Amino acid sequence: MFHSKKNPVFVSGLLLFVFYCRTETPRDPWAVPPLKEEERLFLAPLKTDDFDSKDLGGRHYPASNELRIDLFKPYIEDLEGGYLGAGTDQNFTFIVWAKSKYAWLMDFDYTICLINRIHLLFFKTAVTPEEYRDLWSRKNKQSSFELLKREWSSDPEWNSIKEAWEIAHRGKSDIPQRWNELDRTSHRFGLKTFIHSKEEYDYVRNMVLQGRIQILKGDINAEKSMR
């Protein structure tokens, strides 16, 4: 049974809700063990919100717009347990800082859910943070798209995935630009994230490989996914 440890709410460019629950402390907080069967059942959402994505007028947020995410670190570091967040790349940074062992990435904009699916695919594919960034780079957009096509061309949501891929590379406030912003923040404030640290990248990648990160459509103000 899980007991609530902390329940902070962060409001910034994207609404981010993070919930942590207490788990037994492993010997090595960086270890990501294989899932047990009961954990698989626990992770899988029983119900998700059934609604059409809200009309955002094209105002999607394919990348986080918080520049000083380093300010959150003292409050979430090594909390472990479970993580529930909205948005995209900042989730992976917070997951590794907290050493979360379970994670659910939820958003009411389904385009963001699909972008997160692409993130997970790239984590599985890329062994290093450098390879991961290369998959997102503008110069490799077409070759990376071929990877998506091999993975999902028969997926019923393929057309939506293609649209999400274009939004992720729209040229402004997109994912390649986000990596550059994090580089500048790293240089100026010493921020280190999973794209700068092999140790942090390995943690997130192992979470993905072990199936410990789930993506679900949902609204924190709705009735199903949050329950």
pLDDT per residue over 122-175, tens digit each? 999 999 999 999 999 999 999 999 999 999 999 999 999 999 999 999 988 899
The answer to whether residue 204 sits within a structural domain is: yes
Q: Which residue range forms the structural domain that includes residue 76? A: 37-50+65-217
Number of domains in the chain: 1
**Within a domain: 56:** no
pTM of model > 0.85:
no
State pLDDT tens for residues 93-119: 999 999 999 999 999 899 999 999 999
Distance of alpha carbon 6 from its chain centroid, rounded?
20
Residue 12 lies in a domain: no
Work out whether strand 82-85 and strand 102-107 pair parallel, antiparallel, or are unpaired.
Answer: parallel
In a domain, 6, yes or no: no
| Chain Cα centroid distance, residue 49 | 19
Whether 2 maps to a domain, the answer reads no
The tens digit of pLDDT for each residue in 27-39 reads: 688 999 999 988 9
Contacts by residues 111-114 (CB-CB < 8 Å, ≥ 24 positions apart): 111/53, 111/60, 111/62, 111/160, 111/163, 111/164, 111/167, 112/60, 112/61, 112/62, 112/86, 112/87, 112/88, 113/215, 113/216, 113/217, 114/157, 114/160, 114/161, 114/164
Question: Do residues 46 and 97 touch, judged by C-beta distance below 8 A?
Answer: no
